[in-house]
Structure 1
Amino acid sequence: MSHRILSARPATESERPTFKPLQGRSIVRAQALQQMQAIGRDVRAALKRPIRANIDFSGPWPHVGHLFLRDMLLGEDPHRLRFLMNRILELTPMLTWAVIAMGAARPLKLREGASSLAAFSAAAPNYDERRYAMGLYRRTAAPICFTISTLVANALWLGLPFDDHTSNRNILYEALRLLPPSWNILRNASPEYPVLDDRIKANDDILLLPLLSHRDPGLWDDPNAFRPERWDRLDPEDHLGYLPFGHVSERCWGRHMVMPLAEAMLDIVRDSNLVVDPHQRKAHVRLTGLLGVSQVSLVRKRG
């Protein structure tokens, strides 16, 4: 049924959180694609650069991973732009827009090495356009930093220490199954849906829950267990009910950035002799925004 609902029609702009209207202006597909291509270039450039030695990944996750990604991808951007990645702005949209309004007051000057994404804000000709461009900068870059650091934190909590023979990719696929950052998919009422099932009425909005389909015992063996090895024989692109990046009809555009960056971060963790703090026995997962463990404390393994 989930497959049929998501195949029935494309998502509208209000149903796609990253590119819903901004400041009352629709973000057309061409503009959204332009933004994603820019951050994609920044990701590819960052992955080509050697990662500095002796990175300290100990401390509270996902915060540690978030700062690493911000500096890796956007480290040469003006402070006004990089501050838009601050997690404190998640508290309220009013705070976010207050910071953007102050940051847009003066033109932006870019130094060598600034991100491709930052160029859109620097090219804005006036205050209103700069404010809009900075809003797009946050809309595009923040989900990359937030989602990947949350995904890695989830993997660390669910599975660390990892078996030496288990691939990073399998670890991440399994973390995406048990704690999918995008744990719900909204579809507003639409005439296509009552045709699919007479229990759906014409004015019914629909909330699909990958959080549930990812744990459905009819679709998974031992569904509540963290078993990365299951992905040796499963295909994440077409396994029924597996929707960490949305439905096949409209996958998340950022998914090709998520996996390489998350794998690179897991490599650092696995090479650093880090473990979850033995004193941490519980972790909170809030059903708001991204579905992730609020804090995982990593420490150096003793002995």
Structure 2
Amino acid sequence: MEELAPAAVRDHCVVYAPRIQDLLAREEKVFRIDATTVGVSDFRLISDIVAARPVLASERSVYKPAAGADIHHDSATRTIRALGQDVMAGIHTPPPPAHGLSGAWPDAATTYLREWLFSSDPLPISLLSKRGVTRSNTLSRIVDRAVTVWPGSDLEGRGTALAEQIRGASDTQDRKQAIALYRRATATLCDGVAALAANALWLMGPARPQEGARAELTAALWETLRLLPPAWMLFRKGGDAYTGLHPDIRPEDDLALFPLLMHRDPDHWSDPLEFRPERWAGVADPERTPAFMPFGFDGARCWAKHLVVPLAERLLDIAFDNRLVIHGTPHETHIPLRSLLSVRFEAETGA
């Protein structure tokens, strides 16, 4: 049976999936999850773990091997630069009609972001980021093959910079990798921003920032990243590099690192279970705050981290301007066990 989370944030309770609830109830900072996995939430030990060796290709999410080959650093760099161009261009262009934000969050927000940022790409490239396509393995394979054969080169310059990476591929293998990176980059960004915005909307509740209070909204997003970080767990494969760091870690043990727990550590945070955006007032660089790692760790930070908060701010501005209202149970929402931690609720715009 699911239980209410121990924290009631401004009268907004969260019902976690049982396995997440079990993690939150633990007092140990190093604990065994199963026979071959050790969980870690201790800030210093996590820092030592991520410094012990470089991240493996298989441990990366967006840039793990694709189309049967590793993704080289130059290709990854071009992809994140293209994604940055597309996001900055999107933020400064008129968004789609706000009625697209009505429905089940964060799914409605994910679809809205994909439509806003990537719908200008020609068919079939634009289908790569469509939610209905990405949910079906069969449709995904069909679209991937279609883009490999015809990436829409006749419409060059009319789509996104990410699409240009596909059209500019030198051969079939490079094109397959570019297709995989397009799909992964768009999904990771839109899903992550939608989850962050949904969590922030729930935590802020009726106490939303006043119009034009950008600093207040930014602080609310940083506090959301602390209390309900979408990237709540990171994984490291086991090995000899970790065995000397803690007596409970064996060479065969994989490691699960938990920002969700570290961000609630009372040794580093006052009132750790309370949603207090004011704690970020005057903090010039939140990511330098000890025991706060919302975008991963040194050597393996999310390459798109500089895009997430500005895009989430813009998305929330649109929601507030169009009087988005959360429906359903007013003081309780659920968080299922998924790779991205996100509340679930129904919402409707008033515009």
TM-score by length of 2: 0.77
Ranges in structure 1 where 5+ consecutive residues have no aligned partner: none
1:68 to 95, 112, 118: 112
Q: Is the CA contact (8 Å cut-off) linking 2:209 and 2:217 kept in structure 1?
A: no
Q: Distance in 1 between matches of 2:132 and 2:97?
A: 28
Q: Decide whether aligned partners of structure 1 residues 80 and 280 sit closer, same or farther in structure 2, where only a CA change above 3 A counts.
A: farther
SS of alignment partner, residue 283 of structure 1: strand
TM-aligned CA deviation for residue 258 of structure 1:
0.8
Q: Decide whether aligned partners of structure 1 residues 256 and 130 sit closer, same or farther in structure 2, where only a CA change above 3 A counts.
A: same
- The alignment status of 1:36 with 2:85, answered yes or no, reads no
SS of alignment partner, residue 44 of structure 1: helix
Structure with the bigger RCO (C-alpha within 8 Å, sep 6+) is 2
Instruction: Give the strand-richer structure, 1 or 2.
Output: 2
1:240 to 285, 290, 295: 290
1:189-200 aligned at under 5 Å gives the runs 189-200=238-249
2:336 to 281, 286, 296: 286
Q: Decide whether aligned partners of structure 1 residues 125 and 247 sit closer, same or farther in structure 2, where only a CA change above 3 A counts.
A: closer
2:196 paired residue number = 151
The residue type equivalent to 1:218 in the other structure is D
1:3-18 aligned at under 5 Å gives the runs 3-18=47-62
1:165-176 aligned at under 5 Å gives the runs 167-176=216-225
The residue type equivalent to 1:61 in the other structure is W
Q: Distance in 1 between matches of 2:244 and 2:137?
A: 37
Q: Distance in 2 between matches of 1:175 and 1:137?
A: 27
2:122 paired residue number = 78
- The alignment status of 1:139 with 2:184, answered yes or no, reads yes
Tell me how large the CA RMSD over aligned residues is.
2.5
2:250 paired residue number = 201
Q: Which moved more, 1:114-123 or 1:77-86?
A: 77-86
Q: Identity rate of aligned residues, in percent?
A: 36
Q: Distance in 2 between matches of 1:65 and 1:273?
A: 15
2:63 to 6, 12, 19: 19
Q: Decide whether aligned partners of structure 1 residues 91 and 52 sit closer, same or farther in structure 2, where only a CA change above 3 A counts.
A: closer
Q: Distance in 1 between matches of 2:74 and 2:249?
A: 33
SS of alignment partner, residue 244 of structure 1: coil
1:215-226 aligned at under 5 Å gives the runs 215-226=264-275
The residue type equivalent to 1:143 in the other structure is T
Q: Decide whether aligned partners of structure 1 residues 224 and 90 sit closer, same or farther in structure 2, where only a CA change above 3 A counts.
A: farther
